[in-house]
Chains A and B, each alone.
Chain A
């Protein structure tokens, strides 16, 4: 009898603990399932897409050359160099591209910078950039170092 009493008391405690653990796991599960659902069809899908890319030479080649060749009267590419990079401090790959280009004028250079920075397909960042601002109204030759964040 006494053993049964203790067993019942112990079981009650175990059941209480299990219910708490299930509630906590269920909350984790619901949170993760919502993320998955958002990534597949919801709001996060578009923001997330640029991170899922592979660092692909052919893709980047096509992305830049196609744009510039369509504007060959105002800009041209001298070279494009690619480096897949390594994983940075927050766990994402940080690759780098360097685009050496010639522009007919400052306006065409700014147009190219906008094409790089404000695109929705890739996470391109320009954190270093120099050019002869205010010193020329003619052709500009610049090097554009681009960071790429991806999975």
Chain B
């Protein structure tokens, strides 16, 4: 009985030693693994830092390129530059004015344009006492010509200008007035 207990104790002691040994070996392997992993990660981190530094230097070089800087400015202000171009189409404004004059039989004079605002003097004359000519449908009375022009320009969606409120009309047979047109 006592021998059996001794054997059992010796066996338990042997198992404990083996467990401890396994544990020790396990801890050693884990430690070596962690050291190796840590080392690998540090190498990787260092590699990424180098990549980032190289890329940052390339980006900075591109950002400092004169043409790219200019392009960036232009892109940021594209709307303003497009407006600059639109405001410069003097030939189109003159054409538009001539069309308006022909369409409504109103004489226009004195083209004065500044930053999208166009001022002209206008004169409409009575062509007779009838309200309409029978065959053309054009108005004969100066006041009718002007009223038709005002309504027509304001209603025309293709019109490049917006007609401002007209504050005064001078005369009756011949009516003179000023027109202010604002580029839409």
B102 to chain A, nearest CB (A): 12
Chain B contacts for A110, CB-based, 8 A = 90-91, 94
Chain A contacts for B72, CB-based, 8 A = 35
Tell me how many residues of B have a C-beta within 8 Å of chain A.
54
Given contacts A14-B45, A129-B90, contact A8 B38 (CB under 8 A): yes
Which of B2-10, B17-25, B51-59, B130-138 lies at the binding interface? B51-59
How far does the alpha carbon of A106 sit from the alpha carbon of B59 in the complex, in Å?
53
How far does the alpha carbon of A144 sit from the alpha carbon of B108 in the complex, in Å?
21
Contact, CB under 8 Å: B73 / A8: no
For window 80-134 of B, CB contacts with A under 8 Å fall at 80-81, 84-85, 87-91, 94, 97, 101, 107-115, 120
Closest to A134 in B: B109
Given contacts A4-B34, A36-B68, A134-B110, contact A127 B62 (CB under 8 A): no
Given contacts A25-B52, A127-B88, contact A133 B94 (CB under 8 A): yes
Choose one: B41, B62, B73; the contact of A11 (CB below 8 Å): B41
How far does the alpha carbon of A25 sit from the alpha carbon of B60 in the complex, in Å?
10
Q: What 1/0 flags go to A121-136 for Cβ under 8 Å of B?
A: 0011111111111110
How far does the alpha carbon of A129 sit from the alpha carbon of B118 in the complex, in Å?
9
Contact, CB under 8 Å: A113 / B84: no
Choose one: B41, B49, B81, B85; the contact of A8 (CB below 8 Å): B41
Choose one: B49, B91, B101; the contact of A114 (CB below 8 Å): B91
B154 within 8 A of A: no
Chain A contacts for B48, CB-based, 8 A = 15, 18-19, 22
Chain A contacts for B65, CB-based, 8 A = 32, 36
Contact, CB under 8 Å: A125 / B85: yes
Main secondary structure of the interface of A (DSSP, over half): helix
Choose one: A18, A123, A126; the contact of B45 (CB below 8 Å): A18
Contact, CB under 8 Å: B113 / A35: no
A91 within 8 A of B: yes
Chain B contacts for A25, CB-based, 8 A = 52, 55-56, 59
Interface residues of B, Cβ cutoff 8 Å to A: 27, 30-31, 34-35, 37-38, 41-42, 44-45, 48-49, 51-52, 55-56, 58-59, 62-63, 65-68, 70-74, 76-77, 80-81, 84-85, 87-91, 94, 97, 101, 107-115, 120
Enumerate the 9 nearest inter-chain pairs by beta-carbon distance, A residue then B residue, closest first.
Answer: A133-B111, A32-B62, A11-B41, A134-B109, A90-B77, A18-B48, A125-B88, A4-B34, A25-B55
